[in-house]
């Protein structure tokens, strides 16, 4: 099935894709995307592209749509992921480490991650806290 909006590469884009492919210094995903764009501009159908490059039909559609809407760089280079905010501030992390260094509650021989998270919530240092966040904090090298 042909796509509703054909991929049309300018001479500069075509040359740039050729250099990109022949250089071979990119991820396999980026190289496949470049090949998809070149063949799509030659008139290959989505089904032919899916079969030739062993990718999902959505991959072909997404790559062609991304090229049409945002240009060549949007297809070849993945967008950097937005950095997530830290789960704990430095003060909260210090309080959590202090709790971990404090004596263990009666009836236990060591602090568990869940117990540390629950204690930080009870003491009001954080509103909510997962044991995984506690683990990552305690695993960090000093």
Q: pLDDT tens, 74-116?
A: 999 988 877 777 889 999 999 999 999 999 999 999 999 999 9
On the question of pLDDT at 37 being above 80, the answer is yes
Query: Which residues does 65 contact at the CB level (< 8 Å), separation at least 6?
Result: none
Domain that holds residue 105: 90-133
Instruction: Give the chain's length.
Output: 142
DSSP character for 43? T
On the question of pLDDT at 22 being above 70, the answer is yes
| Residue corresponding to tokens 């990718």 | 55
Q: Is residue 95 within 8 Å of 123, Cβ to Cβ?
A: yes
Number of domains in the chain: 2
Higher pLDDT, 5 or 101: 101
Question: Do 57 and 106 have their domain in common?
Answer: no
What φ, ψ does residue 132 adopt, rounded to 5°? -65, -40
The Cα–Cα gap between 57 and 138 comes to: 44
Please state whether the predicted TM-score (pTM) of the whole model is above 0.95. no
On the question of pLDDT at 117 being above 90, the answer is yes
Question: Does 124 map to a domain?
Answer: yes
On the question of pLDDT at 29 being above 90, the answer is yes
Question: Does 112 map to a domain?
Answer: yes
Mean pLDDT across 45-58: 93
Question: Do 70 and 97 have their domain in common?
Answer: no
Mean pLDDT across 133-140: 91
Question: Do 51 and 107 have their domain in common?
Answer: no
Q: Is residue 71 within 8 Å of 17, Cβ to Cβ?
A: no
Ordered alpha helix ranges (H), 7-130: 11-23, 28-41, 46-53, 57-70, 72-76, 90-101, 113-122
């Amino acid at each position: 099935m042909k796509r509703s909006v054909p991929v049309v590469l300018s001479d500069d884009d075509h040359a740039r894709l050729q250099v990109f492919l022949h250089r071979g210094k990119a991820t396999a995903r980026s190289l496949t995307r470049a090949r998809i764009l070149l063949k799509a501009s030659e008139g290959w159908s989505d089904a032919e592209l899916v079969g030739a490059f062993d990718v999902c039909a959505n991959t072909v559609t997404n790559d062609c749509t991304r090229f049409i809407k945002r240009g060549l760089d949007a297809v070849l280079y993945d967008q950097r992921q937005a950095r997530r905010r830290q789960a704990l501030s430095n003060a909260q992390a210090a309080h959590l480490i202090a709790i971990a260094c404090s004596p263990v509650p009666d009836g236990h021989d060591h602090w568990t991650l869940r117990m540390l998270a629950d204690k930080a919530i009870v003491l009001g240092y954080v509103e909510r806290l997962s044991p995984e966040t506690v683990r990552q904090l305690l695993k960090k090298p000093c």
